[in-house]
Chain A
Amino acid sequence: MIRRNFWSKVILVIVAAFYVLPMIAMARFSFQRVPVIKLGWSTLGKNWTADSLIDAVTSERFLQAGWLSIRLALLSVVLSLVILIPTTVYVHVMKKSARSYVEFLSILPYVVPPIALVVGISGAMKVLGTWFLASPFSLVPFYVIISLPFTFRSLDTSLGAIDLKTLVEASRSLGASWMRTTRMVILPNLKVGIINASFLSFATVLGEFTIASLLLKFTLPAYLAESQGSNPQGTFSVGLLLLVVSSLMFALMNRLSKRKGHALTGLTL
């Protein structure tokens, strides 16, 4: 037993190191103006500066890409919620039998890798005319699709945590109007799901590269790919910033949903 505990700790420590070390290296590279070759004990503490990050985030290209990414993320979140909230509420309150069909549709995006999807998009959308794909906002519906498994699951789980149908029936039989029932019974239970879905969707969009790059849209990840050569330190520091922001978002979401007793399992279905 004691021997098992020892090895367990060893494994966890090694794995933890594997996770932390690359981030440290990334931070060092971004924030220390000392080339690796010259790095030694004497130079370890020198020349740490946040300049590279500051320069990068104030640059024209970053602001352009960042602004686009944020807008895309917000629009994707809104569109996801607009489509999914009525749908999930409906299958939980009215027609539970339809739920498995909707669930099946929601996990379909898993089997179509983003790269395959974008290949299909270019082919299919030609019919619509080039105006559709020319706009950067054409990414939004596809972003909604690729976050569909997560967003549906978030809303579905939060609605499924309690027997919503019975609550709604109780509310209605007590005389509450639909508006009231929605406000006082349905929405509070949806709150956690909405938060989860929004965060997941937002983080996914911020980090999405495949579709954006192949459809030639200039989002944050595309910016990263572009400036990698010309400004490595700045680009890496922005990358680190993105990682930190995403991680914080996930962590925050985890914390918020734990209060209601959901465990976030992200990709696991």
Chain B
Amino acid sequence: MNPQETALRFSGVRKTFGQVTALDSFDLELKQGELVTLLGPSGCGKTTALRIAAGFEQPNSGSVFVKEKDVTALPAHTRNMGMVFQNYSLFPHMSVAENVGFGLRVRGVDAAERDMLVREAVGRVQLPGLEGRYPHQLSGGQQQRVALARALVFQPEVLLLDEPLSALDAKVREELRDEIRTLQRDAGIGAIFVTHDQDEALNISDRVCVMKDGQIQQIGSPRDIYLRPVNGFVARFIGAMNVIEVQFSQQNKPIIAGIELDSSIVGPVGSVAQILVRPDAVSLCSRGTSGSIDGTVVGEHFSGATTILRIRLDQAEVTISAMLVSRNVQMKVGDGVGVTLDPNEVLLDSQV
């Protein structure tokens, strides 16, 4: 499969449910071998988009292309896509082998070949020997692996995953997350992954599509999304953000607690705005260092490798978070510190 080829394309897709616009002018191109995650809060339209791709919903307008073939009008069972569901949806009366082999059976593959392909698929999802078990005898993680095998065994054009990890325990979730990625890469298949969990999204994707209220906010690599969010929604949705109220100086630069920030942000003199900065872009030094803002440590949250220090700025009504590598933390609660914000990492808040 040619990695540059487009596996799936949404073109101007629009979907309404009564008065509600679930998807508005949705355009997205999925390349072969790429994993794109649709990320957003409930109601943002990510699941609707996936279901339209699968054929379970019809768009009001716009089209869906699979390898440049228009499939918008095609019924779901003819689209040759593999799908993995949040609650596994394994056929309860069939064994693992029968579940996995079902897609092959309806395609007319003969029993012997089916057997071989099923065994191979079950092995690839790390469940060798469990072909004879039934879904109710399997754990959640095992069931989802069977679902994966079932979706991939007939070599579909595209893989669709609808919050596949949401119903699983944390530990299982992490394991399976990496396995899904490996399987998808090995198969060289394009995949669309829907989730509301941004850690998953950042971890697993080639590109992330952040959505809100039926509209795409930003599409980019996980790094881009995290470091260069294009608006306040994306900035807040991904990772943590400090929100600081500033006023603009005579030089049109933002002032925090009397210190002027030498960043690229400008604004009308005297007006008030909010800026956003990531906790990992906040550095600490001794109180009184020139250019730093004075503050006091009022909280400490230890999370193993990293620690978050909560610092109350002396001359502003705000407490900000600074994320530090735990080993480097020398301050404790009550200490005075100086806070500097990396001027290249500061964003002007614009609420969408």
A–B contact (CB under 8 angstroms): no
Residue ranges of A at the interface with B (Cβ–Cβ < 8 Å): none
